[in-house]
Structure 1
Amino acid sequence: MTLLGLLLLLALLPAASARSRHLPKAASDPVFGPRQVQGVLGGSVTVKCFYPPTPTNTHDRKYWCKQSGPRCVTLVATTYVAPGYQDRIALTDHPEEENFQVTISELGLGDRGIFQCGVGVNGRGLSHTVNVSIVEAPPVAEPAELFYLKLRSTWTVSCSFGKDTVDKRRYLCKKEKDGCRDIIDSSQKFDPAYRGRVLLTFEDPPGSFRVTMTQMDWEDTGLYYCGFDEFGDESKRKELDVFVYEDKNFPQLKTTVTGKTGSSVTFECLFEPVMKSSTRYLCKWREQGGCDRIIENTGYVKPGFEGRVALFQSPGDRTVSVLLNQLQAKDEGFYWCMSDELKELQSSTQLKVVEGEPELRVEKLVEARAGSRVDLTCSYPCKFYSYEKYWCRWNDTSCSMVPAQDQGLPGPGATCHTANKTVVLSFDPVTKGDEGWYWCGVKRDGVFGEAVAVKLLVSAGSDAKHSPELLDVDSSRESGAVHRGGAYSDAEVRKGAVPESSDESQGSNTLALVLGPLAGLILIAVTAFAVFRYRQLKRS
């Protein structure tokens, strides 16, 4: 019985794992081109074929061959043209655009049939099949628009059908066995499976619209149609052929981030450093359509998000880190990294907010008098001991790092006291110009971790409020020397940040009460013994 169960298990395992092993054609044969091409007798056609831009593919042989039984006869290749095709066929490689083009002129009926465009050796390399047909006179069918997209990248397509379609329903659908599955339409109805990753926006001229779809996956390969409703007339739509392939150099970003209430999350966005003029922004996807902008690199911050969100650019790895702190349950949703250039670098991430407490602890609101000394203290747990800690001052374009004390720069200084696991930002003295938002955060290997915010208010009066555990305002400066940069000595900060507990004080008093009488008894015993010995010596 045991043997039978084992055999049954072994029979089921391959079937279960086969689904994960069998990747789509895009993974095993990433060359892509048109499915059908139609030309006019005596005219010309151009066929464009795409290939992954690997170093091997870039320098490898490209070819166009005609299927003849089991063989595929080469008509043109990188360094070859077949007899009979001289001066009427050409192959041009565009490796920077990830494609090569084959142009055939003086078309005859012999130019129709099944062809292959490919990279490498015929029949043993990477190839794509194209069906070429020849008609005697125009018109010819409009070819499908081709899209060659990287895995996890973003697809953007624009469709226009004229101003007469402004009041009609416009849509994007995907062809399936039983019809065309609606993805999204102009009334902002969308397929639930695409929630948070598809967006339809209207463009000029009137009647035009654009569809953006993020996080492109293998299953997104296929035929799509954009069009408008006109009594079921299929001629009122445009065919779009989408092919997804894997580029191992394309960054794979997180599709979901999770943060605790009151804490923070980081969205990683891609951008092209050489395009310094491009506008980059983070927006929140809306169920009713559109994407609500939160922050832009131009300095715009949505009202209500001041002190909560900041952009940090990292040109070295082509990313922008967007930090959002003081998380609330209503912040949950889908956030898009957008740019007005290089649409494929746009991305979307789902934010989930769970109950919990931030691991970094600060006083959220600090009020102080101008001219006094202020210490903003940020406590961190042992898990962040090896992380880089920082304080920064928030502004509408970023959060500027506060220079460390040992850099010897003027102004506030940030020091870390590992004994109490605190990072202290000191102002000595604090001025009205220091008022604003300050962030305390951690980083590891250049990647931003948790961050918390403090709002500092500076008044000229004497009614400032503070917490004795997290803020020390000392205008008299009678308690010893102050280091350059405005930070207390280690002993002073420990005293201010972590007060001695009452339990420790009671323990010290109890110990004194026990040791005092015991020492007295020992002294009496020693004195009595000395007197006894003295008398013995005197008698002798």
Structure 2
Amino acid sequence: MAFLSLIFLLTIVQADSAISNSSPIFGPKEVTALVGGSVTVKCFYPRTSVNKHSRKYWCKESTQHCSTIISSNGYVSRGFEGRTSIIDYPENGLFIIEISNLVRRDMGPYKCGIGLNDKGLSFRVKLDVSAGSIIPEEAQLFYVEQHGSVTITCAFGDASDRRYLCKLTKYTCATIIDTNGNIDPFYKGRILLSNLQTPGSFNIIITQLQKQDSGLYLCGTGNYGAEGETKKLDIHVYEDVLISKQQPILNGVQGGSVSVECHYEPKESKTTKYWCKWNENECTFLINNLGDVRDDYEGRIVMHDSPENGTYTVILNQLHNGDEGFYWCMTSGEQERKSSTELKIMEETGQPSLAVDNEIHAVAGAPLTITCTYPCLYADYEKYWCKWKNTGCEPLISSEETQAGLVVSCDKGNRILSLHFDQTSLSDQGWYWCGVRKGGHYGETYATYLQVQGVLRNAEEPLRPNEEPSDVVSQNRIVPLNNANKEASNDIPAESHKESKHSTVLLSVLIPLGIIFLLLATAFFVVKFRLFKHSDLVSVGSYRTNISMTDFENARQYGAKDNVCVAEAHETQIGGKDDYIVTTNSPKEAGKSKAKRNSKEDVEMAYTTFLLNSENIQPRGSQQQ
């Protein structure tokens, strides 16, 4: 009979404990105070609009009912006037009861609750009033909504010992995480232990909390049950219908994308939001809302903030096997919310739904169209293109045009979303995303890189391997800039380019003039050379001249015959006694020619005539003989 009674009592205790644990109201299970001292009891409740305005109370249990000691309506029981108070903090979901001048008869079971009577939501608290001088340390309370997070700070003197968190069971304290790298599989990917700057201090963060996480914990140094220090923690996880349920597992495919929606307190919209990838020792930063992006994630990750509803969405595309793991949403606000999500790459599920060329080459100054095909699944979704930046990827929806000349069009019949460029430029180079969204929620995306080529080359040059004839524009072909040319062009100031342009124009004028002048000079010297080649240097007295050999040839043709017709010869002494000039002119004409005798032409003709008729002239001495 006694055995049956014990079983019955244990059943009642367990049932009562289950009711207490299922209630959304939470407080300390037991508090201890000294006689004549005071005690403070914190009771938490969900922050719904109904709870915020409902009556809060503190009552003492008896066998029949729970007699109200004090309530938020202003009621105070006899015997507690002047030594008890209740303060409600609806914005924090918390009300605090304080009792002073404690006596032994104040000991016993109490309840803190919400409602018009003691039948409402409540939590049982045991008050112990001790006559001793030492008060045992109470457990630190943590009241967390389901799928939420909690940050625990533990500080101890010795920083060299092992640091750990364990959960109390009936017989032991099971290790959850420690600095030796041990992690309970149930908490993998959603718990992190990090040391603080103060020696011996460390933080423990648990995300994606579940109802099973409620219970008593110990954080400490050393080993449980042996040496070291410990601190008791009491965590209560309640279900809040206002909190959106986080998707615990995301499935992606090779080359595809995933999107994660993170939540934060809307009143703290100016706080920093960031996303990181979890590992055993830290959470590696990937992106935040300030425009900071990890280098190896540029072009494949973006964050969209929606402060009006307290959410931000992170999209990761170009997925590969190395992306598998756990990712955390985090904020820097006072009511900081953290959540974790596991990403798995499903190799068997096939290809991404959206299809775009992985890399596109364009010609500077030429039009371009990039196409993205989508399945029937996204027929009712809003489709968009956007150019990736570290601060985001602002969607450009169908039929919308920007000042940069970008137009998005959708061929619903063929399920093709196109992005048109009127005229590409080097500034258009970069990452472009094709994506879908519905009801303000972002869905699948696909990224492609646009490479714009911008250096001119003659079209006559042969095409290099893998180059298309379409690259030829206006008798010139566009080829990529190499890094050296880019750096050199960046170092040249604008004024140098202008001076170089003027110099080019000047040279284009002077060079043809110089060529013409050179041709004229060459022709002149060739003619002179030919004339000089047919001339001999002849001396007439003290006068030297060039006489053309053609003159002598002409003279030989007429010399003998013309001399026959000469009536008489006239002799004129020029120099010495042996120098004569013979002329066939009359005396009257001779007088005329005498006036021109000093000219070069007269001298040449006189000497030529002299040579031709020298055989017919006899010296005076011979005539006398």
Instruction: Mark yes or no: TM-score above 0.5.
Output: yes
Pairing 1:200-349 to 2, within 5 Å after superposition: 200-229=193-222, 232-233=225-226, 236-286=229-279, 288-342=280-334, 344-349=336-341
Counterpart of 2:87 in structure 1 is: 92
Is 1:82 aligned to 2:77, yes or no? yes
Q: What is the Cα deviation at residue 332 of structure 1?
A: 0.8
Shift of the 297–54 alpha-carbon distance from structure 1 to 2, 3 Å rule, reads closer
Q: Among 409, 422, 427, which residue is 2:416 paired with?
A: 422
**Hey, what does 2:153 align to over in structure 1?**
158
Question: 1:237: Cα distance to partner?
Answer: 0.7
Asked if the contact 1:116–1:128 (Cα under 8 Å) also holds between the matched residues in 2, the reply is yes
Give the 3-state SS of the residue equivalent to 2:380 in structure 1.
coil
Is the deviation greater in 342-351 or in 262-271?
342-351
Identity rate of aligned residues, in percent? 41
1:380 Cα deviation from its structure 2 partner: 1.3
Residues paired across the two proteins, number: 450
The 5 A counterparts of 1:511-522 are none
Q: 1:404 to 1:108 in 2, by over 3 A?
A: same
1:185 maps to amino acid: D
Q: Whole-Å Cα distance in 1 between the matches of residues 467 and 352 of structure 2?
A: 19
Counterparts in 2 of 1:63-82, with a 5 A limit?
63-78=57-72, 79-82=74-77
For the Cα contact (< 8 Å) 1:27–1:245, is it kept in 2? no
Please state how far the C-alpha of 1:341 moved relative to its aligned partner.
2.0
Q: Distance in 2 between matches of 1:121 and 1:403?
A: 54
Structure 2 counterpart SS, 1:152: coil
Give the aligned partner of residue 103 of structure 1.
98
Shift of 1:117: 1.4
* Unaligned residue ranges in structure 2 (runs of 5+): 1-16, 457-462, 475-625
Residues 175 and 181 in structure 1, CA contact (< 8 A), matched pair in contact too: yes
Is residue 432 from structure 1 mapped to residue 418 from structure 2 by the alignment?
Answer: no
Once the 2 structures are TM-superposed, how far is the Cα of residue 298 of structure 1 from its aligned partner?
2.2
2:529 maps to none
- Rounded to whole Å, the distance in 2 between the matches of 1:213 and 1:430 is 50
CA distance in 2, matches of 1:42, 1:234: 35
Q: Which of 185, 194, 198 pairs up with 1:192?
A: 185
Unaligned 5+ residue runs, structure 1? 1-22, 477-540
Task: State how far apart, in whole Å, the 2-side matches of 1:233 and 1:203 are.
Answer: 24
What pairs up with 1:390-539 in 2 under 5 angstroms? 390-402=384-396, 405-407=399-401, 409-461=403-455
Supply the distance in 2 between the matched residues of 1:46 and 1:443 (Cα, whole angstroms). 51
Amino acid at match of 1:304: D
Question: What SS does the aligned partner of 1:81 have?
Answer: coil
| 2:611 counterpart residue number | none
User: Given the alignment of the two structures, is residue 175 of structure 1 paired with residue 168 of structure 2, yes or no?
Assistant: yes
What's the CA shift for 1:308?
0.7
User: Is residue 222–residue 228 contact of structure 2 (8 Å, CA) maintained in 1?
Assistant: no
- Residue 373 (structure 2) aligns with: 379
Following superposition, the deviation at residue 121 of structure 1 comes to 4.5
The yes-or-no answer on 1:41 pairing with 2:41 is no
Distance 2:304 2:145 in 1: 26
Q: What residue in structure 2 maps to residue 130 of structure 1?
A: 125
Assess, with a 3 A threshold, how the Cα gap between structure 1 residues 322 and 472 changes in structure 2: closer, same or farther.
farther
Give per-residue Cα distances to partners, 1:204-254, cap 9 Å, x unaligned.
211111111111111111101111116835771111111111111111121
Question: In structure 1, how many angstroms separate the alpha carbons of the residues matched to 2:427 and 2:464?
Answer: 16
Structure 1 residue 29, shift from structure 2 partner: 1.7
Q: Which has the larger radius of gyration?
A: 2
Cα gap change, 1:185/1:25 in structure 2, threshold over 3 Å: closer, same or farther? farther
CA contact 2:300–2:316 (8 Å) conserved in 1: yes
Shift of 1:53: 2.3
Contact 2:398/2:408 (CA < 8 Å) preserved in 1? Answer: yes
Task: Look up the match of 1:388.
Answer: 382
Distance 2:276 2:223 in 1: 34
Q: CA deviation at 1:411?
A: 2.2
Q: Secondary structure at the match of 1:345?
A: coil
Q: Residue 250 of structure 1: SS of its match in structure 2?
A: coil
1:57 maps to which of 43, 47, 51: 51
RMSD: 2.5
| Mapped partners of 2:414, 2:406: distance in 1 | 20
How far the C-alpha of 1:195 sits from its partner, in A, is 1.0
8 Å contact 2:20–2:124 — kept in the other structure? no
The answer to which structure, 1 or 2, has the higher relative contact order (CA under 8 A, 6+ apart) is: 1
Distance of aligned partners of 1:273 and 1:55 in 2 relative to their CA distance in 1, 3 Å threshold = closer
Distance in 2 (alpha carbons) for counterparts of 1:421 and 1:97: 50
So what's the TM-score if we normalise by structure 1?
A: 0.78
Greater Cα offset, 412-421 or 50-59: 50-59
d(CA) in 1 for partners of 2:340 and 2:44?
Answer: 26
Find the aligned partners of 2:402 and 2:182 in 1 and give their Cα distance.
59
Give distance in 1, aligned partners of 2:416 and 2:436. Answer: 12
Quote the offset at 1:416 in angstroms: 1.0
Pair 1:426–1:146, CA change in 2 (3 A): same
- The 8 Å contact of residues 264 and 336 in structure 2, kept in 1 or not, is answered as no
Q: TM-score, normalised by structure 2?
A: 0.68
Q: 1:233 to 1:39 in 2, by over 3 A?
A: farther
* Counterpart-to-counterpart distance in 2, 1:123 and 1:117: 9
1:271/1:128 CA distance change after superposition, 3 Å: closer
Structure 1 residues 388 and 213, CA gap change in structure 2 (3 angstroms): same
* Corresponding position of 1:148: 143
